[in-house]
Structure 1
Amino acid sequence: MAQQEVFTQERRKRFDDLPEMPEDRPALLLSAVYSGEERKVYLKFYDPRDNVIYHWRDRTGHVPYAYSKIQYADTVDQIVAKETKYKVERMKKKDVIADQEIDVLKITAPDPLSIGGTDNSLREKVRCWEADIKYHENYLYDRGLIPGTYYVRHGDKIEQHMYKISDKVEFELKNLLWDKIKEEGEGGKEYRQYVTTWANLLNQPIPELKRVAVDIEVESEEGRMPTPRDHDRRVTAVGFAGSDGLRKVLVLGENMVDNGKPLVKEAEVCKNEKELLEKAFAIINSYPIILTFNGDDFDLPYLYARSQDARISSDGKAIPRDAVPIIIKKESFIKHGMQAEPVGIRHGIHIDLFRTFQNRSIQIYAFSRKYTEFTLNAICEALLEDSKLEFEGDISDLPMQTLAEYCMKDAELTFRLTSFGDNLLMKLLVVIARIGRLSVDDIARFGVNQWIRGILYYEHRQRNELIPRTDELHEKGTASTAAVIKEKKYRGGEVVEPTPGIHFNVVVLDFASLYPSIIKVHNLSYETINCVHPRCRETGKIEGTTHWVCQQRKGLSSLLIGSLRDLRVNYYKFLSKDKTLPAQERQLYNVVSQAIKVILNASYGVMGAEIFPLYCLPVADATAAIGRNTINATIDKCKELGIEVVYGDTDSLFLKEPSQESINKVVGWAKDQLGVDLEIDKQYRYVVFSDLKKNYLGVLPDGTVDVKGLTGKKSHTPPFIRNAFYEILNILGRVGSQKDFESAKESIKNIIQRDAKNLEAHKIPTPDLSFNVMINKSLASYGKKVNSVKTMDGKASQIETYKGLPQHIKAAKLLADRGKEIKAGDIISYVKTKNGDGVKPVELAKPEEIDTEKYLEAMESTFDQVLGALSFDFKSVLGKPRQQSLDELFWSKPSV
């Protein structure tokens, strides 16, 4: 079958033969998709009773549109006169920047591409508003539909269905509204309404979602990775792991190596590839939700491409397209090696967990940075304490029995990433969909800036407000403070100079959700910052900046982020720990609390990120400035109460030996005077500071050592350095008094000298010297060898080298040159050498080639994070020039 033939086949209707939503049965809205063939949006509802997804085609006559302002009426009239597909309607909208109601032109079109997305679309011809929103999102906003919540069909109408929450939970909500939220007047009424709406929405139950994880294996060719675009290698195995207990792996029996061992019980041998694919599609069709790990980029597009290839069976016939459940886009083939287009499932939804776990907000705030690499193996080791099966050689050489086990294990691991912690990840995605107003499958793929965009866009539509353009927000001005960090555009949080030395009994007070609290209390939003009202310039000035904030109306960000913040701090954190509630309810409230935390922690940052559609630098600048004022005012209060503050960083204060009474006074003062909540975050047995900011070491009561930035723990660090790092942490964890530091000092010095000596003597095994880094895209997308001239003894010679490439890519290309298959997601283990490209794969390197100086530098940069906090000089231990004597180890300015 020709490579491009799959792109040119006539497209059929996607959803016309799928079951529609039955009447009077609550179902969970999971997704919305646009069918270009029918020019309609289809909604996908999950029915908890039948464990299937029902579809609902739009019956409202909704069409794509954009807005333009009256001053562009002449241009709009010319477009409409020339292209009759456009229709124009005059209407009223609230201009949030000008703070007034205005007349606008609503321009409708028969399809989304007529509005935006091509060189000939409307937004390329006239200044438009809201022309860059995906049509299926527009539909959800206009219909007031919220994914992750329940709806019931009554005839031709879809209506929201709300389950009643328990009396106790309702009572706690009323306590929050009236006792803890001190908002007065009309603004207070609006604020309480948002809190109530959020709570009723987020308290809805989440059903068990039937799903299956899919993983495929494809035969490989020496030195080349199979790609969906080429799809010239056979699918040899497809593994499945389902929420209903299904464990199955389909294995290709045709021409496969058989080692005589019995197959795993879950395996079924298929006589040819066509049979294997047909059986795989039958299983996929029986599940409403399909899970993959990197399935957008490889598994699903490859299955689709092979299904349309006549070579899959001896009869020379491909599988009919209407028997293939996978919805593919041309870009998914073309962009292989880059970030692929989302791949859909006709009857259900597809969630690519690779995209989900790549999301930094999920990584940091939902899973506390437990994983640092984005491979299936690294994530499973961190979260599940389990890993992929290991094998020697190439996957194409595996006997079918081993291949079946390997594929089955990958499918099981993929599924378990969604099932551990009482289905934590699936529930988290549903809750974030409720907050972000986006389809669950979109939430799984989008970054947090898109989630927050969804919250704001949805509310603007409900309030009949024109969503501001990016260039309008640029006119609000720029930052009025100078950045301290090079890549930033404004000054960030306050970092208080540490008091160098050792400090025992240190309590860390944390400002709970500091920036969201500031956004709420100070009414910060892109429409209220630097507003149009002359009086606000005088009455709403923000200390430390040239900005002012509106005093006449509530900002949307302030209302939404503030109400979510109050719910988390005063409601969900309490409910999740209330043992008088059923365990299932408590678990839901814990998930909701985590989901809100993920959103809140990004709510300030997105305003200062150019990728965010509502990017407004003055908001970020003002928020940071108020944060600095807040922490400095609190430090002054601590001094007034006689509390010594030994360090402060953005939203935390380190207090030395404070009494509980003094802590209570500071907490109460901050709540009353600043509108922020302080809470005890950590209590250290001792903390050691150097003269450097953001460089400290603390030991918790249980002996756990807490070091800012812990690169020594990262998996790409060579094992011998990582092991020594843990040895040092264990020594420090046993220190209980100042006297203990003398022996700790000698032990740490001995570890460093031991490893440096073994390194220079080439006694450290090569695998222990390896840096281990993942390849994020195919090797083909990187550069090629270049010729360079090397002069030796006055003679010129041509050599080939990989100049300008990252070290792990140089190593990977050296392996590929020797015929090893390298693909995106592989971990490359390499060592630093004195010759060639300065790097070699572990398996190709000899001990005498190791560049010991580079490894000493790596040791120093890693250990300095600990030793620097202790005012300890790495070079002095090795007998090299030093900045201070060894007697000064651990403290340069003793503090008793």
Structure 2
Amino acid sequence: MKFRGWLLDVDYEVVNNRPLIRMWCVDDTGRSAVIFDDSFEPYFYVVPYGDVPMSQLQNMSEEVGGELIRPVKIDIVDRKNFGVPIKCYRIFTQLPRDVPYLRELALKFGDVREADILFGVRYIIDKRLIPMGGIEAEGEPVPIDYAGSGLLCRSPKAVAREDEPPLKIMAFDCEMWNPRGMPDPKKDPIVIISIKTNDEEKVLTATDESDKSLIKEFIQYVKDYDPDIIVGYNQDGFDWPYISERAKKHKIKLSVCRDGTSPMFGRGGLQRKTKLIGRLNIDLFQVAQRDVDGVKIKTLENVADFLGVMKKDERVNLFAADIYQYWADEEKRGELIQYAKDDVSSTYGLSEELLPLQFEFARMVHEPADNVSKMGRGRQVESYLAYIAYEYGELIPSRGGEVETYLGGFVFPPVKGIHKNVASLDFSAMYPSIMITYNISPDTVCKDCNVECYPPAPEVGHCFRKEPEGFFTRILRSLVSHRSALKKKLALMDKKDRDYKMLDIRQKTIKILTNAFYGYTGWAQAKWYRRECAEATSAWGRYFIKKANDIAQAMGLEVLYGDTDSLFVTLKDGGRLPDITSAFIKKVKEELPLDMDVDNIYRSIFFTESKKRYAGLTSKGEIVVRGLEVRRGDWCELAKELQSEVIRIILEEENPEKAVKFVKDTISEVKEGMVPLDKLVIHKTLTKGVESYESAQAHVKAAERAREMDMSASVGSKISYVIVKGPGGTLSERAYPVDMFSKFKDGKLYAKDKTYELDAEYYVDKQLIPTALRILGYFGHTEDELKGKGVQGTLAQFF
């Protein structure tokens, strides 16, 4: 029997006290399949301390649960340790679960390597497989009842494919009964589960008081549709754990995994993780947190609006605290159902925007897509390195070592104020280019310089040998070359072509991964951590940007601001900026081992006195904002919208007086209670337990009050609160969770047993005026003026 299709995931089960690898696949028609391999054995390496006899390792044993765990076999293999050939022991175990026990015993005999690689990932690495890539296999058919077909094959092969797998994707979202604000899974039932797939949109609703039948209907839907991928928005942190708790309450097995098992729950840092056997479970909230720039408060509505999936004003918007009221009122229930449909449609739409990049990362770093979707950039780089290390015979280093800080990129302080006719220029892939140019890699660090080395890095003096080419250098050169070839191919293609989009995602994936290498070498948790690499790379970066500044000055350009790998320049004495910048870029390329491109031309740009904080109007009429309060999360939405409009008026209309009037009008609306409550909510994340905070911060006090009302406020939760009037001397005493209020009208907030008054003065003095003055202060406007008195400035004096 032959199989050709796509690999989604790899795991294992234990059969007859031996691990049985399961490769979860789909064929070219989209039919599910599982390829089994019963021949693969778990193992790890030991680099011995001196002359350690093999017999000492063979005699290692530990009794666990009445069973004696010991090595199955040991062999001696040739490997490389930071490029240096060595011999080491490879220790095989009976089961993957035996590895941690034997690893601890082996530590006294040598340096233990690669004992923390998951068994499924180990198989992918050793068999050179490609998750979300093609796979071929030939072997004996295996009867199974949880997939379309089964096959026993000990030698599957990866196959390069340019087409995309025919996947069944299912998005879901839950609405809960929440009379206390944040619903409690021990008390509050699920009332709606909305679903959207490749084929249909469906809303499941509770038909009894307990939600038991609703959960059973949801489980059956998953079984019948049999999705390859399930997506949600914060389903790992909320929906899956909630459904699980409700299922336990009703003594229902949550058998939504492909093999009929229940989800497995874990945690990585502050994030919860949910694993579905045989299906890829991808939390788009976690993806958005890492991959979507430009949205600070990453609610489903905000991200969907930002990516053009569903505009906020085109969907039903409800307060979360009101959901139970809409469910209880039959006249309003239809609006709640539409709200649920909009949520799941937004989620499915986000999957179409965000999943292609996750698929490409899976192919590149050789880990299943649900794994890479939850990884930070450092972990993605490390997974890629682990795959390549096997190919080169390099042992993966042990994590550890003393971490030291080092100096980063150089900054030319911004010339504050407004400037016209400005070009922003970027060094293309500065750090990867530097690492390639000077062979900067963990295995090329030259301590005694008794071999031929490149010149020492400026300021820090670290040297790197010229030959042989380093482990990182070879990888980076290959990645840069691959991306360059893709970009040349893209230049010849029509942007409307579907293949164009896929190739563009591929080149962006390579760019992201390549640019992460430098930071990875200085990352405290990196297995290939090497401070000298990070320190030398940033030192060369500082040297080159200073050299570029010297060239700019000599050519009549003024550097208004520079940071790490970018420069903002204008002409000192007039002339055609495009012509001079083109000549400047050509000169830089001639004198420095780096490439440079024009990032943007600004008709006008406004710099504050701080780095990474500016706003500009491009020659295409787009407004670019970096680092100002408008992008921060501890300001209410109204403050951010106000500052965005002030920036627009200043840059597009060059009319600060109009901007001042807009601020004054907004202040009046707040004082008169005319602004919707959702514009006044402040969001902040609990980064540790409430009891761990030494000072009484506003969001911490709001979290305490939420807990008192049986609302969730755990580590990692986004606390949404408002400030009310009251006798409390501190701000925190007047911070209340927004979900406790059922109504807001004319400045009054209505809770279950009490009415509060919004503190309009706080919002004016601490939210609106500070964000407005961050811009208008540079034009001579003052707080008194924004409150109705004072003298206006003029724009002309700032050009």
Equivalent position of 1:850 in the other structure: 759
- Asked whether the equivalents of residues 833 and 850 of structure 1 are also in contact (C-alpha less than 8 Å), the reply is yes
Match for 1:446 among 375, 381, 397? 375
Separation of aligned partners in 2, 1:320 and 1:731 = 56
The reply to whether residue 862 of structure 1 matches residue 794 of structure 2 is no
Separation of aligned partners in 2, 1:573 and 1:854 = 49
The reply to whether residue 731 of structure 1 matches residue 731 of structure 2 is no
Secondary structure at the aligned position of 2:524 is classed as coil
Equivalence map 1:378-417=2 (5 Å)? 378-383=302-307, 384-386=309-311, 389-391=316-318, 394-397=322-325, 398-399=327-328, 402=334, 404-417=337-350
Equivalent position of 2:427 in the other structure: 511
Secondary structure at the aligned position of 2:136 is classed as strand
Counterpart residue identity of residue 279, structure 1: Q
Equivalence map 1:285-684=2 (5 Å)? 286-304=226-244, 306-307=246-247, 325-329=260-264, 332=266, 339-345=271-277, 347-358=278-289, 360=290, 362-364=291-293, 369=294, 371-383=295-307, 384-386=309-311, 389-391=316-318, 394-397=322-325, 398-399=327-328, 402=334, 404-419=337-352, 424-471=353-400, 474=402, 489-530=405-446, 534-536=450-452, 539-568=454-483, 570-579=484-493, 583-657=497-571, 659-684=577-602
CA offsets 1:427-454 (integer angstroms, 9 cap, x no match):
2111111111111111112111111001
Match for 1:247 among 174, 193, 201? 201
- Asked whether the equivalents of residues 301 and 328 of structure 1 are also in contact (C-alpha less than 8 Å), the reply is no
Separation of aligned partners in 1, 2:534 and 2:28 = 46
Separation of aligned partners in 2, 1:324 and 1:406 = 33
CA offsets 1:45-102 (integer angstroms, 9 cap, x no match):
4334331332122243322323232527269816725456213222221121xx4211
Change (3 A) 1:459 1:572: same
Equivalent position of 1:282 in the other structure: 223
Secondary structure at the aligned position of 1:664 is classed as helix
Separation of aligned partners in 2, 1:491 and 1:88 = 45
The offset of 1:771, in angstroms, is 3.4
Counterpart residue identity of residue 342, structure 1: T
Separation of aligned partners in 2, 1:853 and 1:773 = 16
Equivalence map 1:700-715=2 (5 Å)? 700-712=618-630
Separation of aligned partners in 2, 1:459 and 1:440 = 18
Change (3 A) 1:753 1:301: closer
Separation of aligned partners in 1, 2:788 and 2:109 = 68
Separation of aligned partners in 2, 1:695 and 1:390 = 32
- Asked whether the equivalents of residues 589 and 595 of structure 2 are also in contact (C-alpha less than 8 Å), the reply is yes
Change (3 A) 1:320 1:504: closer
Equivalence map 1:194-205=2 (5 Å)? 204-205=162-163
Counterpart residue identity of residue 242, structure 1: T
Equivalence map 1:107-256=2 (5 Å)? 107-116=91-100, 122-123=106-107, 127-155=111-139, 156-160=153-157, 162=159, 204-220=162-178, 222=180, 225-227=183-185, 230=186, 234-243=189-198, 245-255=199-209
- Asked whether the equivalents of residues 277 and 303 of structure 1 are also in contact (C-alpha less than 8 Å), the reply is no
Extract unaligned runs of 5+ from structure 1: 1-21, 164-202, 257-269, 313-317, 480-488, 736-740, 785-801
- Compare 138-147 and 538-547 and name the one that shifted more: 538-547
Give aligned-pair identity as a percent.
Answer: 21
- Compare 409-418 and 838-847 and name the one that shifted more: 838-847
Counterpart residue identity of residue 167, structure 2: L
Secondary structure at the aligned position of 1:340 is classed as strand
- Compare 842-851 and 626-635 and name the one that shifted more: 842-851
The reply to whether residue 782 of structure 1 matches residue 690 of structure 2 is yes
- Compare 206-215 and 686-695 and name the one that shifted more: 686-695
CA offsets 1:184-213 (integer angstroms, 9 cap, x no match):
xxxxxxxxxxxxxxxxxxx73223422111
Separation of aligned partners in 1, 2:788 and 2:461 = 51
Counterpart residue identity of residue 734, structure 2: G
CA offsets 1:245-278 (integer angstroms, 9 cap, x no match):
222233232248xxxxxxxxxxxxx993575255
The offset of 1:611, in angstroms, is 2.8
Equivalent position of 2:77 in the other structure: 91
CA offsets 1:497-537 (integer angstroms, 9 cap, x no match):
3445543211111111222222222222222234565235x
Change (3 A) 1:876 1:565: farther
The offset of 1:461, in angstroms, is 0.9
Separation of aligned partners in 1, 2:511 and 2:360 = 12
Equivalence map 1:686-765=2 (5 Å)? 686-689=604-607, 691-712=609-630, 717-735=635-653, 744-752=655-663
Separation of aligned partners in 1, 2:433 and 2:268 = 43
Counterpart residue identity of residue 237, structure 2: D
Secondary structure at the aligned position of 2:600 is classed as strand
- Asked whether the equivalents of residues 286 and 373 of structure 2 are also in contact (C-alpha less than 8 Å), the reply is yes
- Asked whether the equivalents of residues 251 and 276 of structure 1 are also in contact (C-alpha less than 8 Å), the reply is no
The offset of 1:678, in angstroms, is 0.9
Equivalent position of 1:198 in the other structure: none
CA offsets 1:583-618 (integer angstroms, 9 cap, x no match):
122121111122223223323222222133322222
Counterpart residue identity of residue 722, structure 2: Y
Equivalent position of 2:681 in the other structure: 771
Equivalent position of 2:149 in the other structure: none
Secondary structure at the aligned position of 1:104 is classed as strand
The offset of 1:162, in angstroms, is 4.1
- Asked whether the equivalents of residues 420 and 602 of structure 2 are also in contact (C-alpha less than 8 Å), the reply is yes
Change (3 A) 1:103 1:546: same
Q: TM-score, normalised by structure 2?
A: 0.82
Q: Alignment RMSD, CA only?
A: 3.9
Change (3 A) 1:590 1:764: same
- Considering fraction of residues, name the structure with more strand: 2
The offset of 1:877, in angstroms, is 4.3
Separation of aligned partners in 1, 2:673 and 2:239 = 43
- Asked whether the equivalents of residues 115 and 123 of structure 1 are also in contact (C-alpha less than 8 Å), the reply is no
Equivalence map 1:834-849=2 (5 Å)? 835-836=727-728, 837-841=733-737, 843=741
The offset of 1:715, in angstroms, is 6.6
CA offsets 1:464-484 (integer angstroms, 9 cap, x no match):
112222346x5xxx76xxxxx
The reply to whether residue 49 of structure 1 matches residue 28 of structure 2 is yes
Separation of aligned partners in 1, 2:631 and 2:530 = 37
CA offsets 1:803-852 (integer angstroms, 9 cap, x no match):
84542342354356457777986762412646330324564758877273
- Compare 817-826 and 636-645 and name the one that shifted more: 817-826
- Asked whether the equivalents of residues 704 and 733 of structure 1 are also in contact (C-alpha less than 8 Å), the reply is no
The offset of 1:462, in angstroms, is 0.9
The offset of 1:31, in angstroms, is 1.4
Separation of aligned partners in 1, 2:770 and 2:20 = 55
Change (3 A) 1:379 1:766: closer
The reply to whether residue 30 of structure 1 matches residue 8 of structure 2 is yes
Separation of aligned partners in 2, 1:692 and 1:734 = 23
- Asked whether the equivalents of residues 486 and 503 of structure 2 are also in contact (C-alpha less than 8 Å), the reply is yes
The offset of 1:396, in angstroms, is 4.2
Q: TM-score, normalised by structure 1?
A: 0.74
Equivalent position of 2:41 in the other structure: 62
CA offsets 1:715-762 (integer angstroms, 9 cap, x no match):
753354334323322321235xxxxx6xx3434444556666887x77
